[in-house]
Structure formats: structure tokens, C-alpha cells
Amino acid sequence: MSAIAETAAPPMPPRMITARVVSVVKETHDTFTLTVEPESPECANFSPGQFSMLYVYGVGELPISISGDPHDTGRLVYTVRSVGKATNALVNTKPGQSIGIRGPFGTSWPVDEARGNDVLIVAGGIGLAPLRPAIYRILRNRDDYVRLIVLYGARSPKDLLYRKQLSEWGRLPDTQVLSTVDYGGVNWRGYVGVVTTLFRYVRLHPGRTTALICGPEIMMRYVIRELEKRGLPDSDIHLSMERNMKCAVGFCGHCQLGPYFVCKDGPIFSYTKMRPWLDKHEL
Amino acid sequence: MSATLPATGSQSVIEFSALTALISALRRRGYEVIGPVVRDGAVTLEAVEKVEDLPVGWGDEQESGHYRLKRREDNAVFGYTVGPQGWKRFLHPPEVPLLEAQRDNSSFRILKKPPAPVRYAFLGVRACELAAIRILDRVFLGDRYVEPGYKGRREAAFLIAVNCTKAGGTCFCTSMGTGPRAASGFDLALTELPGREGHRFVVEVGSEAGAAVLGEIEHRKAREEEVREAQAAVDNAAGQMRRAVDTEGIRDVLFDNFEHPRWDRVAARCLSCANCTMVCPTCFCTTVEDVTDIAGDRAERWRKWDSCFTDGFSYIHGGSVRLSVKSRYRQWLTHKFAAWVDQFGTFGCVGCGRCITWCPGRIDITEELRAMRGVEASA
């Protein structure tokens, strides 16, 4: 208790580094995909489902899931929906500009543990973004998995993310990709209805299926209900949770969810852990 | 003055007049000595230089929603119980700069400025507050990430504990197993004996650093009856404790009573003012604030204390998760006595009673916990 500890590190670890924006691609009317190159390339290593804290100079910092291919080296990809001041600033950055970056943080989808199984991916809206790295990894190791099923729901056709990729994936063998929208409009020839309505087109093998879900909490609760009806055990269901987050390292307290900190115990949780908490209103 | 340094665990005695020498010895070693002072009708924590700065002759009266300083009949220096501020104010300050950046064409540079080294000596740390510091250590130093600012301040700190010889009106440290005796985690621990035989302090040495500081000031070995007298005074404080919490199984009681009607009743009294979280010595939540100069050439990012009672605390796109006051109070109390156990292996409460004293709605955490068990509250 006597030695003087001098530290040059900022009080919020790990250190923030800068990353150069390579491209900003428009996905939908309000959603953009940013590709950045961190100043230290090793900071671009991540596992599917993890997130970074992205800082826009003078505006703010926010948690954003990584949506790129984990095999890409030296680059990080984020799909951001512009809904507020910081996300707006983020999607309005220009190639060559720098942002601040911390991370990656958090738990990841159990993609390796799912080897030998069918993988069922259920996404709602922007929730497809944190699942895309898992899809990339599965497709790269396609022989390790049996079937890949992607069920995707969005509000309207103009809100569907990665449409070209979705149809490419849908043409692969042993792969089923179904998208649905809440409101179709006149030119929409696909499914209409919430994402759970797609379950009637899917045959699941309980005990041999790993389900990965990301979307609004209400949607995840209904998806879990469908999975339970079909006999999937809790331990084969995995969710990505969202809470307010300021630090990502367990210090700010904002992301608490029952006994957990979403930043370090999540964002990916098995339903075994989430079951007692998911239906609690205003938890 | 003894030739050899007093051993760790040994008991010595210093006279009232030696307190200034103690503060001076610490200041000579480069410590900023923080101790209790009387300010604006309360005992607050500030830099002190001499015994006259301390609340000599002051006591306090504390009840739910009530705090008054009162003149004591003696000249006790530590005759008050805990004031509104805790030591987290210094170890985990209310405002900390996190980042400074400078615009550089389309990019920006992160300026690396080492934080100014501060060496604090805390004078008058009560047993419950030592426990609170241990809890903050677990949060900021004992997990996956280490908070370097906290680590620097904490490791440099010199702690002088004071054993309570009088329980405050809202204290319940005996229930939480944190006091009133300071058992460990200090450099020196004082027990004040303002008695007829001369105003003096029994000093227990808790570390080598403590022994070295004590060696620099006038002291003598404590007599057996003085040690006994000090012990009796602390036991007396334990016996005065009027509030209690039954902690047995309380984690499950809270987690199992998410929809208990008592939450609605307490929410009707709770102003969601965040006082309880500000005065709590273990509440550690923070938010961040970004500022720039007017030209935008320099940007700063600050960390500030936050509270789970604010509506923005749980905000995510689409709205706040905890909209109702009920859900915020439930979050706070459940965090302290249930979630904290899962997260850090201890309760987040040390029984200091500050949240009871400083609640304008007179909400008493001990009463709420009793009600959660289904025991009718007395008030």
C-alpha cells in the first residue's frame, strides 16, 4: 500500500486505437456497412457474435456487433442502423477518415460446438448483422455441419439486409434461407408475416440442431416458444442480448441483466442462462 | 520514542496532541491527507493539515431521512458516524477524463497524458468503509479487466481506520459482518478513548508502512487495560446497533420476488432522486460525456458517476428498459443483495446506513428487505 503506481494508460481499458474507414456501403434506406482497418491489424481478430466499441471523434462511443467474415485479416466490418446522434455520425464517416475502436468484446456464438449438427439461424431486422460472421464461418467449414437454415424477418422488403447474399446462400446445397416481412407491398412475392410463421416450412431435428437467435427481445421470446414446441433443449438455443453499454468492460454497470453483465457475460447467452430472466418485464 | 518500529498487529497509544504530528508525518511522505471536516452542517471529507481541521467535539444524529450535527459533551475527534461522502469519492472520483483527442485533418490523434499521480492518506476510515473499499477492489481490480486509474490511486493509498465506539442511528454493519471493528485492510487503526485519564488513541499497526509512520511520532506501548477499554468501547457500539438485516438466503428471496407487491409500495415513496446511489460507498456505476472545444479541434471524453435511478440509464434504441420507478428501485436493491453475489461473490452493501439517512422519502433498506421476506414492517 505504499508504492506509487504511475500509469500512462487511460482509465478505461483496453486502450482505444484508431481505425481508418475503408468504405461505407448503403445496405438499406437507414442501414450502412462500414469497413475499417485498425492501426494494429491484430486488433481485427474476433469471434462471431463479438462486438466493438466504436468512437466518433467528439460525438460519442457505442457498442456495435461485428458483421464481417472472421477469416478476413486486418479489417473489421460493422453494419449500423442510423437511429441516433452517434450511429448517424458513424454512417456519415467518409473513407480515409478515422474512428476510435476498442475491443473486440464479449462472448461468441458456439459455432465450433455446433459441429456435426444442423444450424438454425433466426434473425430479426438488424439482428442478422451479428449472425453473419457465424454464417461465414459455417460456410467456410461447410462439411462440419449438416444443414444450415436461415430464417429472417424484417419490417418491409426495403428493410431486408444482405438480400443478394441471402439469395446466394439459399442456392447452396443443404441450405434453406427463408425471408419474411411484416408488410409486403405490391411487388413483394415472398412470405408475409412475423418470423415465427416461417417455422411451418422447416423440419427441425431436436437434439441435433443448434439454434442461434438475434433480434428484438419480443421476437426472440416467440422464436424460443416455437423451438420449445419442437422439442429443442434449452442448452441448444443461443441468444444475443442487448442493453445500454458505456464501457464494455464491466465497470459502468449499465448493461446489467439480472445477475449478468451483457458486456462480459454476453452478449451471446445460452437459453439455459437466459430462461429465468427473458420474460421479466423491466428487468 | 521507541528505537525499534512497532510490530504489525501491536497496540500502541498516542495522545490527542499527536494527531497533528501524524498528519504531518504523512504529508512529509508526500501524501495528501484526507480526513473529516465540518462543512455545511455535515461531516465531509477534505484535505486536512492539523487536528483543528477535524470535527473535534462534534457528533451526529441520524435517522431515516434525517441528519443533524450535534455538539458532544467531550472533545472526541471521531465522535460522529459516517457522513454523506464515502472514500469512493477519491478512489473512484465523480468525474474522470477518459480520453483527450486532437483533430488531425480527417483523422484524430489520441493524446497520451498520464494522470497526475495522487497519493492519498485517508484518516478516519470506518470498518464498513474498509469493507466498501474491498468491494470496489473486487469490481475494479478483481475481474477480467483492471481499471488502471483506480489501481494507481488504490495502491498508493495509506489507510488510517477508526473503530466506531458509537453506532449511528441508521447503522447495521453487524448484520453485514463488516464492523464496527476494523479487522484488516488498514495501515493504522485508531480507537479513540476520550476518557478522564487524558484524551488518547489506541493504535493498532496493520502494515509495515503503518509501523514506519507510527515510528515517526510520539507513541508508547498500550497498557493491557487500555486495550481492554478500547475493545469494550467497540463492543459497546456493536450493542447499540438498532437496525438489522437477515442476510440468510436473501439473494434467493429477492430473485424469487420479482413481482412482490412491496415493490409498488416502495415505488410510491421513491422519488428516483438517486441520493442513495450517490451516498452509497459501493455504488460504482458511471456514464460518459463527450465534449469538444468550440472549433472542434480538441475532443474530450469524461466518465461521470451515474445512477440506475435515472431514466437514461437503461436506454436502448426504442426506449428505456426500466421505465417505472418500481423497476429502478427493484434493480438497485436486487443488485445490492442478489445480483452482486453472483457478480462479485459478496453483497454490495456494507451496512453503513447512508442510503437510509439520506433518502428524502425515508425509505429504509432494512425495512424493505424485511418486507420482501413477508415480515410486516414496523413503520
Q: Look up residue A145 and give its DSSP letter.
A: -
Q: What pLDDT is recorded for position A12?
A: 58
Interior CA angle at B118 toward B113 and B121, to 5°?
Answer: 165
Interior CA angle at B302 toward B301 and B306, to 5°?
Answer: 135
Q: Give the three cell numbers for residue B248.
A: 440468510
d(CA A198, CA B143): 42
CATH number of the domain residue A148 falls in: 3.40.50.80
Q: Has residue A4 got a pLDDT over 60?
A: no
Q: Indicate if A44 and A65 belong to the same structural domain.
A: yes
By mean pLDDT, which of A1-10, A137-146, A233-242 is the weakest?
A: A1-10
Mean pLDDT, chain A, as a whole number?
94
Its domain, for residue A41, covers 17-105
Residue A254 maps to a domain: no
* Spatial contact of B251 and A211, defined as CB atoms under 8 Å apart: no
Q: Indicate if A35 and A136 belong to the same structural domain.
A: no
Q: Indicate if A89 and A164 belong to the same structural domain.
A: no
- Count of CA atoms in the C-beta half-sphere (13 A) of A99: 32
pLDDT band at residue A9 using 50, 70 and 90 as cut-offs: very low
Task: Please state the domain extents for chain B.
Answer: 11-240, 250-372
- Encode pLDDT of A64-78 as tens digits: 999 999 999 999 999
Domain count, chain A: 2
Q: What pLDDT is recorded for position B5?
A: 84
Mark which residues 237-276 of A lie under 8 Å from B by CB: 242-244, 246-247, 249-254, 256, 258-261, 264, 276
Q: What pLDDT is recorded for position A1?
A: 33
Q: Give the three cell numbers for residue A8.
A: 500512462
Q: Look up residue B95 and give its DSSP letter.
A: E
Q: Has residue A53 got a pLDDT over 70?
A: yes
- Considering only CB atoms, A57 lies closest to which of B103, B144, B152, namely B103
Q: What pLDDT is recorded for position A5?
A: 34
The helix/strand/coil state of A169 is helix
Q: Indicate if A122 and A225 belong to the same structural domain.
A: yes
d(CA B158, CA A107): 38
Q: Which residues of A touch B324 (CB under 8 A)?
A: 282
Residue A3 maps to a domain: no
d(CA B288, CA A252): 9
Counting one residue from chain A and one from chain B, the pairs whose CB atoms sit within 8 A come to: 168
The sign of the dihedral angle between the CA atoms of A65, A66, A68, A69 is negative
Q: Is A95 near chain B, with CB under 8 Å?
A: no
Residue A246 maps to a domain: no
Q: Has residue A8 got a pLDDT over 80?
A: no
For residue A110, count CB atoms less than 10 angstroms from its CB and return exposed for 0-12, middle for 13-18, buried for 19 or more: buried
Residue A274 maps to a domain: no
| Residues in chain B, pLDDT under 70 | 1-3, 114-116, 196, 375-379
Residue A58 maps to a domain: yes
Q: Which residues of B touch A264 (CB under 8 A)?
A: 143-144
A258–B339: do the CB atoms touch at under 8 Å?
yes
Pick from A12, A87, A126 the residue to mutate for testing the B interface (most B CBs within 10 Å). Answer: A12
Q: Has residue A79 got a pLDDT over 90?
A: yes
Residue A252 maps to a domain: no
Hey, what long-range contacts does B327-332 have (CB within 8 A, 24 or more apart)? B327/A281, B327/A282, B327/A283, B328/B270, B328/B272, B329/B263, B329/B266, B329/B267, B329/B270, B329/B272, B330/A282, B330/B258, B330/B263, B331/A256, B331/A283, B332/B276, B332/B277, B332/B308
Residue A51 is inside which H or E element, if any?
Answer: strand A51-56
Q: Which residues of B touch A251 (CB under 8 A)?
A: 139-140, 145, 147, 284, 286
* Spatial contact of B173 and B241, defined as CB atoms under 8 Å apart: yes
Show which of A78, A105, A132 is a domain's final residue.
A105
Residue A127 maps to a domain: yes
Q: What pLDDT is recorded for position B4?
A: 76
Determine the distance in angstroms separating the CA of B279 from the nearest CA of chain A, rounded to an integer. 17
Number of H helices, E strands in chain B: 14, 16
Q: Indicate if A122 and A195 belong to the same structural domain.
A: yes
B316–A244: do the CB atoms touch at under 8 Å?
yes
Q: What pLDDT is recorded for position B70?
A: 97
**What CA–CA distances, in Å, run from B198 to B76, B166, B201, B237?**
11, 19, 10, 21
Mean pLDDT within A158-165: 97
Pick from A61, A218, A245, A256 the residue to mutate for testing the B interface (most B CBs within 10 Å). Answer: A256
Show which of A58, A80, A105 is a domain's final residue.
A105
pLDDT band at residue A103 using 50, 70 and 90 as cut-offs: very high
Residue A235 maps to a domain: yes
- Considering only CB atoms, B152 lies closest to which of A6, A60, A249, namely A6
Strands A31-38 and A76-81: antiparallel
Q: Which residues of A touch B331 (CB under 8 A)?
A: 256, 283
Pick from A55, A57, A101 the residue to mutate for testing the B interface (most B CBs within 10 Å). Answer: A57
Show which of A50, A78, A105 is a domain's final residue.
A105
The sign of the dihedral angle between the CA atoms of A37, A41, A45, A50 is negative
CATH number of the domain residue A25 falls in: 2.40.30.10
The helix/strand/coil state of A150 is strand
Determine the distance in angstroms separating the CA of B245 from the nearest CA of chain A, rounded to an integer. 21
